A = this chain, B = another copy of it.
Amino acid sequence: MTDVQQQKSDTVAAVKHMKWWGWGVEGVAFHHHDKPAFAPFVKKIVGVELSEGHDTGLDFADLVVPASIAAPEVVESLEQIVGPGAVATDDHDRVVHTYGKSIRDLIRIRAGILERVPDVVVYPADEAEVQSIVDLAVASDLVLIPFGGGSNIVGSLEPITTETRTVISLDMGRLDRVLDIDEDSGLARIQAGGQGPDLEAQLNARGWTLGHFPDSFTHSTMGGWVATRSSGMQSDKYGDIADITKGLRVVRPGGVLAIRAVPSASTGPSLREMIIGSEGRLGVITEVTAQVHRLPEKREILAYLFPSWHDGLAAMQAIAESDAHPSVTRVSDAHETAFSFATSKPGKGISQKITDLLPTLLKAKGWDIDAMCLSFIGYEGSPEHVARTQKTVAKIVKANRGMSVGTGPGKLYDQKKFDTPYLRDFFMDHGGAADVSETAAPWSKLRDVSSRVYAAANQAFDQIGKQGWIMGHLSHSYHSGACLYFTFAFEHGSDAEAEYDVVKHAIQQAFIDTGATVSHHHGVGLEHQPWMSQDVSPEGVAVMQGLFDSADPGRVFNPGKVTGA
């Protein structure tokens, strides 16, 4: 720990950050000693040999961190605003604020690639301090990049490498409170920097929940969710962040853009929907008035099996069309189902339950076990609602040749649902590269999206000369379609980033070519920019660019993200 860090104020020191080289906190890691099927499975699908545990050999001291170019008077001005204990220029803090946690980010940080590191990290305590920082940045031609939990995986947090001005990473971590709950309306005023578990704890203590649980939940923030159009696992019930967000406060040069928390409004083009997804380009989100719900009386996740991907998709669509209102609709394809079995512990969990059922399935139903698909449906609400919804779903599952596997696998899924990034990092420790691509499309196109993504990925694996693996699931159902979420993996060679690019590119282009969108809930950042004009049309990108240019003529607010220019 450096002297600078020791000088941090207590509140600043309390701001949580993930480790500089990977997901989550130090000391927590994936292990597979109790999952005997896992290492052979990984060996089989991508040829990677897994040992138990692995020393990454990474040492922060080995990093060559470019010096900060922040002028002393800039640092002094910031210190005058937030106090000297809330401004950091030390290497560790600056490196932690350089990247998000995508595979590309981890490849680079582990390789010591640090082209452009923020020059200074500042931790405002309140909105007034954010306003002063914004006004200073505009007056002094600085660059501001808002930083929440640092979990972004589309390159929204890194400074543009060619940036010659001083770059400030604006860490929102001290604005972490639920300020107020309007218990009559189910509306909570929430500060932008609060991380998922802390916010839920504050809400739960008063009997409420936001109901927003993205994969990144443990390390992402309210402001980050809004800035990237996040969607949580229970979005079928609680909605995407665009549905959840009612009011907003956004610090703009000279004042706060404030949007009233009304349930719906007819006040021209939606400013709320311009801020949502803006990735810092329109100002700094300081406060969100979000709709919250009473904690459900009952909550249960049931697992189901379907004989094929098409049966699983058909069932999810039938559920979306029905009067049932589950909180989660999710079905894995055959590859992801096999992967789930491989990560289970023997004697309990998913694989054992399935193993017990195998003879029945094979003999009585004539299923092809390799085509089988695992599904989770979540239920929340009154016991009557849960019972009724389960009954409706049971009929639909049966009509689509599926069967229930009970609550056991669902409980396990619920416990482990935020652990996948640790597994990704563990895989990376052993020479593997794994990442995700997600999209949304109308129901009529989902089968085509899925099969063409598989074809594209496999062709890309051939192109880079690697044994690769792709798997996917449907999650987040809507009236007219759903989200498809793919995970791909391969053993990388010497240029992991270039190999990754080939595979990622192939999958994203398959989304576009099948009429799907470039992203359902991860955002654009730098990573998804190449497909924006194909997705929202060149005219759409031009209108969006015009919005950014008019709102930020000095290119102070996270320039270069979303639209490029």
List residues of chain B with CB within 8 A of the CB of A229. 265-267
- Cβ of A264 and Cβ of B277 under 8 Å apart? no
Interface presence of A483 (CB below 8 A): yes
A259-B536, A323-B385, A537-B256 as given contacts; A479 in contact with B186, CB under 8 Å:
yes
Given A268-B532, A323-B381, does the pair A540, B273 have CB atoms closer than 8 Å?
Answer: no
* A279 contact set on B, CB distance < 8 A: 268
Of A42-50, A139-147, A541-549, the segment with at least 4 beta carbons within 8 Å of chain B is A541-549
Specify how many copies of this chain sit in the oligomer.
Answer: 2
Is A275 interfacial (CB 8 A cutoff)?
yes
**Size band of the A side of the interface?**
35 or more
Roughly how many angstroms separate A230 CA and B441 CA in the complex, as a whole number? 25
A441 touches B262 (CB 8 A): yes
Closest residue on chain B to residue A239 by CB atoms: B479
Stretch at the interface among A19-27, A105-113, A115-123, A520-528: A520-528
Contacts of A384 in B (CB 8 A): 323
Mark the stretch among A59-67, A342-350, A488-496, A511-519 that contacts chain B: A511-519
Among B182, B265, B282, B445, point to the contact of A269 (Cβ < 8 A): B282
- Does chain B have a CB within 8 A of A184? yes
- Residues from chain B with a CB closer than 8 A to the CB of A439 are 262
Give CA–CA (A518, B265) in the complex, Å: 8
Complex contacts, A523 vs chain B, CB 8 Å? 266, 268
- Among A182, A385, A522, the one with the most B-chain Cβ atoms within 10 Å of its Cβ is A182
A257 within 8 A of B: yes
Quick check: is A94 within 8 A (CB to CB) of the other chain? no
**B382 touching A323, Cβ below 8 Å:** yes
B539 lies within 8 A of A442 (CB): no
Say yes or no: is A242 at the interface (Cβ < 8 Å to chain B): yes
Q: Is A336's beta carbon under 8 Å from chain B?
A: no
Complex CA–CA separation, A75 to B191 (angstroms): 57
Q: Name which residue of chain B comes closest to A235, CB basis.
A: B264
Near B by CB (< 8 A), chain A positions 528-565 give 528, 532, 535-540, 542-544, 546-547, 549-551, 562-563
Q: Which residue of B lies closest to A291 (CB)?
A: B480
CA distance A538 to B258 in the complex (A): 9
* Interface: A219 (CB within 8 A): no
Contact A268 B257 (CB under 8 A): no
20 pairs of residues in contact across A and B, judged by CB atoms under 8 Å: A184-B443, A186-B321, A186-B443, A187-B444, A246-B480, A252-B542, A255-B538, A256-B537, A259-B536, A262-B516, A263-B440, A263-B441, A263-B442, A266-B277, A267-B524, A267-B528, A271-B543, A271-B544, A274-B274, A323-B325
| Interface residues in chain A, defined as those with a beta carbon under 8 Å from any beta carbon in chain B | 182, 184-187, 228-231, 240, 242, 246, 250, 252, 254-279, 282, 291, 293, 321, 323, 325, 381-382, 384-385, 388, 439-445, 476, 478-483, 515-524, 528, 532, 535-540, 542-544, 546-547, 549-551, 562-563
Top 8 closest pairs, chain A to chain B, by CB: A546-B550, A273-B273, A263-B478, A185-B442, A184-B444, A257-B539, A263-B481, A229-B266
